[in-house]
Structure 1
Amino acid sequence: MFKQRLVTGLLLAGAALAAILGLPSIAFAALVLVTFLIGADEWSRLTGGQSVWVRSSFVLVVAVAAGVAWRVAMHGDIRLPILMGVIWWLAVAGLLLIYSPGRSLNAIGGLRTVLRIAVLLSLVPAWLAIVWLQRYDPWLLVFLIVLAAVGDSAAYLAGRRFGRRRMAPRLSPGKTWEGLMGEMLISLLLAVAGAWYFVAGDNWARVGFVCLCLVTVLASVIGDLFESLLKRVAGAKDSGSLLPGHGGVLDRFDSHLAAAPVFLLGWLWLRGGGL
């Protein structure tokens, strides 16, 4: 299982790097959108939409919303759709605190409706942020992906070695506060290196970039836990089976759904304007 997971992870990393650095913006945007539409199909099944009609509706709605968000970004202000995504993830943090396990999806009709609507607020701002970062500076997007991925690995290793206190036992029993501390420490080192590479001259701006990276890592944890909530409510182990050893698309990119809009909004704020 570990070998399969490792091979799949290396192939995904290589493909992602080649796409980010080698594809023109439009082709990259289309590729990421197709990936996220697969995620939308997985989302529909996790929230009880098993019929072809419901699943197709999910995919169509996300595609249309992505087009609208892109038009707003190109002809208005990208901060509006990105801010909507950030506000949503703040609301998710509150939802995670009050979620009560042990009830089936059918018994929580209100929650199912919220989770279905959430597909737009979760996928569309993340897609737009990822596309915009690649268009602006591909290496900045690579840094964001590495920041979330390395931090997640550090949390896993630190949790296995030092983990004693569970962080979210109702959602993800394997996550510990010690793992989070390990993740934040490694992320701090990456953030300092990134600050010196991406932020020129102004030391205060570099400090701001480091703080942004740490906030982004916390957002990635929220994204990860929210996908765990989706699967727990649905009674599923994985969001899908497309990626051997990893599960589905949502299983692989859950942390980036929250991290990408938070990182982009913070980057825009640090720069004092739009891209």
Structure 2
Amino acid sequence: MLKQRIITAAVLIPLVLALILLPPTGFFASLVAVAFAGAAWEWALLAGYRTPVGRGIVTAAAVVIFAVLLLVRTHGLLAALTFAGVAWWVGCCFWLRHFTFAAAPSSENRMLKLGAGLLVIVPALAAATDMHASDRGHWWVLLALVIVWAADTGAYFSGRFFGRRKLAPRISPGKTWAGVYGALVAGALVAWVGGLLLGVESGARLIGLVILGVVTVAVAVVGDLFESLMKRHATVKDSGNLFPGHGGLLDRLDSVFAALPVFAAGKLLLGL
């Protein structure tokens, strides 16, 4: 499994780097919207829509929302959606504490989970678009993703070698507190190095960026746990099988969906 993950990552990382660093914001946002539409298709399954027709309707509705968002694309709207995403992930912690909430496969719970999907995906698209359009925005988006990638790697190795105490055994039995600590350290280090490379010279701002990196990783863990909870509700192992060794789009983007609004909001607050 580790070998498959490494091969898949080796293929995907250069492609992702090119898609972030080379195109203008409009084209970048459109590509992100296409990927997020695929995630909406997978989310429909987790929400309880198991037929292709039902999932297709959900995906088509998501595409319409994405299109409207990208056509309007004002800084005010994007920032408002970004901060709405931050609020969602804070509130999501209460759902994780009451993990049986909305577990029953009822029509009301399906609609509730569709609404949750909107709050997961739309703010992430808004945050990525708004951040990409800012000064040196291509690099800030890349930094946000590298923080998540580094945290994922730090969590994997620290959890593997030091993991004893489970983080949330009823939601995701494989995650440990040692993995979380490794992720936080890795995210802080990447934020510090990235800040220096991006010319964050003020000591206070650099410290703020490091703290933001830690908070971003913490919320990314929440995003990972929430997708695991939705998979448990839907009784599926992976959201899809698009990437060998990695699962589906949601399995790769769950942390990113949570991290992007938090990192973008923090960047705005820090004046970076």
TM-score by length of 2: 0.92
* Equivalent in the alignment of 1:94: 94
Cα distance, 1:55 vs. partner? Answer: 1.3
Q: What's the secondary structure of 1:113's corresponding residue?
A: helix
- Name the structure 1 match of 2:229: 229
1:199/1:205 contact within 8 Å kept: no
- Kindly state the Cα deviation for residue 204 of structure 1 after the two structures are TM-superposed: 1.1
CA shift, 1:240, in A, is: 0.5
Whether the aligned pair in 1 keeps the contact of 2:162 and 2:178 (CA below 8 Å) is yes
Aligned-pair CA distance for 1:2: 2.7
Alignment of 1:1-275 (within 5 A): 1-71=1-71, 73-74=73-74, 76-100=76-100, 105-106=104-105, 110-136=108-134, 137-271=137-271
Q: Distance in 2 between matches of 1:78 and 1:42?
A: 24
Shift of 1:135: 2.8
CA drift of 1:233 comes to 0.5
Please say if residues 72 and 78 of structure 1, whose CA atoms lie closer than 8 Å, have aligned partners that are also in contact.
Answer: no
Deviations 1:31-90 (CA, angstroms, capped at 9, x unpaired): 111111011011111221123332122112222222343455416443211111111111
CA shift at 1:129, angstroms? 1.4
| Partners of 1:78 and 1:48 in 2: CA distance | 29
Q: 1:145: how far off? A: 0.8
Mapped contact 1:66–1:128 kept (Cα < 8 A): no
2:159–2:175 CA contact under 8 A, matched in 1:
yes
Name the amino acid aligned to 2:248.
G
Output the amino acid matched with 1:23: P
CA contact (8 A) 2:2 2:245 kept: yes
Aligned mates of 1:208, 1:71 — CA distance in 2: 33
Q: Give, in whole Å, the separation in 2 of the partners of 1:182 and 1:29.
A: 31
What SS class does the counterpart of residue 173 from structure 2 fall into?
Answer: strand
**What are the superposed Cα offsets for residues 231-267 of structure 1, whole Å, 9 maximum, x if unpaired?**
1110000001111111110001110000000100111
Q: Give CA-to-partner distance per residue, 1:191-223, whole Å, 9 cap, x none.
A: 221222335332111111111111101111011
Aligned mates of 2:236, 2:173 — CA distance in 1: 15
- Aligned length in residues: 270
From the superposition, tell whether residues 104 and 210 of structure 1 become closer, same or farther in structure 2 (CA, over 3 Å).
Answer: closer
- For 1:73 and 1:264, how far apart are their aligned partners in 2? 15
The more displaced of 158-167 and 68-77 is 68-77
Q: Output the TM-score relative to the length of structure 1.
A: 0.91
1:270 corresponds to which letter in structure 2? L
Q: Distance in 1 between matches of 2:94 and 2:68?
A: 28
Distance 1:219 1:75, change over 3 A: closer
Alpha-carbon distance in structure 2 between the residues aligned to 1:96 and 1:191: 27
What is the distance in 1 between the residues matched to 2:37 and 2:118? 11
Backbone CA RMSD of aligned residues: 1.9
Contact kept in structure 1, 2:155 and 2:181, CA below 8 Å: yes
Identity across matched positions, percent: 39
Taking the aligned partners of 1:203 and 1:104, their CA distance within structure 2 comes to 47
Provide the C-alpha distance between the structure 2 equivalents of 1:41 and 1:28, rounded to a whole number of angstroms. 20
> Which amino acid in 2 is paired with 1:244?
P
**1:154–1:179 Cα contact (<8 Å) kept:** yes
Q: Using a 3 Å threshold, how does the CA distance of structure 1 residues 160 and 72 change in structure 2: closer, same or farther? A: same
List alignment gaps of at least 5 residues for structure 1.
none
Tell me: CA distance 1:194–1:23, structure 2 relative to 1, closer, same or farther (3 Å). Answer: same
8 Å contact kept, 2:132–2:138 = yes
